[in-house]
Amino acid sequence: MSNIIHILFLKDNEAIALFGIIVIFFVIVAFREAIKNDRLKREGKWPPEEQSGKDKVLAWPFLVRKEFLVAIFVMMGVLIWGIVRNAPLEEFANANVTPNPSKAPWYFLGLQEMLVYFDPWIAGVLFPSLIIVGLMAIPYIDINPKGNGYYTFRERKFAVSVFAFGFLFLWVVLIIVGVFFRGTGWLWYWPWQEWDPHAIVAETNYDFTQFIGIDSKSLLGSVIGGSVVVMYYFLGMAIPYAIMRAKNSGTLQKLGFIRYMVVAFLFWSMIGLTIKIFLRLVFHLKYAWVTPWFNI
């Protein structure tokens, strides 16, 4: 355990530990509220009296008072933190001395972790862009009118699950991994292990077509790899579409073709990322698709 306690107070790491605690706390709050509201709905007691919006109070003093109190507590917390703990300051910047490990600011460590599994243009450029665009697209592709203004899970199972997975696992957990589990050489270290700057892990990774004995850099390999990626998206979009169509799904009708395509593309991109992580860790897959210009 000594190592984790040592790392915990290095650099900005205590802020990231706090981040983890705050997120866990609010996830519990959100899901408890959601379960409570869902139960009230099932029992036909929704909306509860106080949720009807009839019981109004004046902002002055009731809201302003609360804001003031919260402000005092937050300022107090920040001041105490600033008195008790010093902000990190390392040696003078030196372009000739590369620290090992070199880490990006903590909120980008999820993306840096992606570098293990993807080329930089995907991990550092494509994913962030997709995250930003995808987040902004949410209100336009989530056409479910329910769950507007109250916590619920039952009425928004798909939306809440996907967002919770993306935010909690692919963002928060990967940040925690990047901060506390990635040591020298960006190797995986458990909290009780000391970081060893000389550790070497010999790993050979293979491109997808090499598993079936075809050179991934050859034209054939490139075409096969490309087909796999394209087919992944195509089938991922087409199969649920066909099923929903056959069932005469109301959701699909309301979504319309374009919205459905956007949802499916973003969803399968996110899932694809998880699949690639899994394949790399378990089967040592390097690239699914190799071309002279880019690799996926």
Structure tokens at 10: 């290095």
Q: Of 258, 265, 260, 268, whose CA–CA distance to 241 is shortest?
A: 260
Nearer to other proteins, 61 or 284 (CB): 61
In this chain, which of 1, 95, 200, 219 binds other proteins, going by CB under 8 A?
95
Task: Enumerate residues 6+ apart whose C-beta is below 8 A from 234.
Answer: none
- Which residue, 122 or 264, has its beta carbon nearer to other proteins? 122
- Based on CB atoms, which residue is closest to other proteins, 5 or 89? 89
Q: Which stretch binds other proteins (CB under 8 A): 70-78, 190-198, 238-246, 282-290?
A: 70-78
Residue 236 beta carbon to other proteins: minimum distance, rounded to whole angstroms: 23
CA angle, 182 as apex, 179 and 183 as ends, to 5°?
110
The letter for the amino acid at 216 is: S
Query: Quick check: 55 binds other proteins (CB under 8 A)?
Result: yes
| DSSP label at residue 182 | B
24 is an interface residue for other proteins by CB under 8 A: no
Options 6, 9, 24, 64; binder of other proteins; rule CB under 8 A: 64
Which of 5, 43, 44, 86 contacts other proteins by CB under 8 A? 86
38 binds other proteins (CB under 8 A): no
Cα 277 to Cα 286: distance, rounded to the nearest angstrom: 10
Task: Report how far apart, in Å, the C-alpha atoms of 290 and of each of 83, 211, 274, 280 are.
Answer: 53, 14, 19, 15
Single out the residue of 2, 148, 204, 248 in contact with other proteins (rule: CB under 8 A). Answer: 148
Q: Give the residue with the Cβ less far from other proteins, 32 or 42.
A: 32
CA distance 291 to 138: 33
Residues 237-296 that bind other proteins (CB under 8 A): 293-294
**Does position 90 bind other proteins by CB under 8 A?**
yes
193 sits in the region (left: phi over 0; alpha: psi -120 to 50; else beta) called beta
Is 15 a binding residue for other proteins by CB under 8 A? The answer is: yes
Least Cβ distance, residue 21 to other proteins (angstroms): 10
Positions 149 through 188 that interact with other proteins (CB under 8 A):
149-152, 156, 160, 163, 167, 171
Q: Under the criterion CB under 8 A, does residue 88 sit at the interface with other proteins?
A: yes
Does position 96 interact with other proteins (CB under 8 A)? The reply is no
Name, in order, each residue with C-beta under 8 angstroms of 153's C-beta and a sequence gap of 6 or more.
Answer: 31, 34, 35, 38, 160
Is 212 among the residues that bind other proteins (CB under 8 A)?
no
Is the CB of 84 or the CB of 202 nearer to other proteins? Answer: 84
Distance of CA 155 to the CA centre of its chain: 23
Under a CB-based contact definition with an 8 Å cutoff, are residues 289 and 222 in contact? yes
